[in-house]
Amino acid sequence: MFPEMRRKKQQLSNEETEEILRRGSHGVLALLGNEGWPYALPISYVYDEGRLYFHCAAAGHKLEAIAREPRASLCVVDMDEVIPELFTTAYRSAIAFGRLRVLEDREEIVRALEALCGKYSPGLDTAEEIKKHLNNVCVLEMNVEHVSGKEGLELVRRRNADREN
């Protein structure tokens, strides 16, 4: 279903790819928008045990798109260093593919919000904030079906040079 990466030596392992998903501060969520137009939006997320969680408003274009087509992808750029003199970029990124669903169960919603708060507000007591917004927030879950990670040739060369030294 998902094509193999053409440039195998640039492919990251599943473990490296999942680590990018864990540490990324945001990603770009790609959906099928109105009339078949691509709809990609920057979004905060948390990755937890093969699932991605997002929060959003209880209505809007994003939810309309998901209702039409739940398949989506999230792209996270971990590194992006332009190297002008080499006419290249040292980059590392991950893409997760899966189906989105709106969480309905209150316990699932609270767990997802706790995970999001733990990522973005570590060490803070967020229970009151979650309770305050619980009835007005929508939480989305993507069950990750496939991940793909890749790094630029410059990073591959650096990694190989480090191994030789």
Q: How confident is the model at residue 88 (pLDDT cuts 50, 70, 90)?
A: confident
Taking residues 94-104, report their average pLDDT: 97
94 in Cβ contact with 138 (< 8 Å)? no
142 in Cβ contact with 99 (< 8 Å)? yes
C-alpha distances (whole Å) from 27 to each of 6, 20, 84 are 23, 11, 25
C-alpha distances (whole Å) from 100 to each of 54, 65, 72, 143 are 10, 10, 7, 7
Rounded distance between C-alpha atoms, residue 7 and residue 64, angstroms:
36
What are the pLDDT digits (tens) for 8-62?
888 899 999 999 999 999 999 999 999 999 999 999 999 998 999 999 988 899 9
What are the pLDDT digits (tens) for 128-158?
889 988 888 999 999 999 999 999 888 878 8
pTM: 0.89
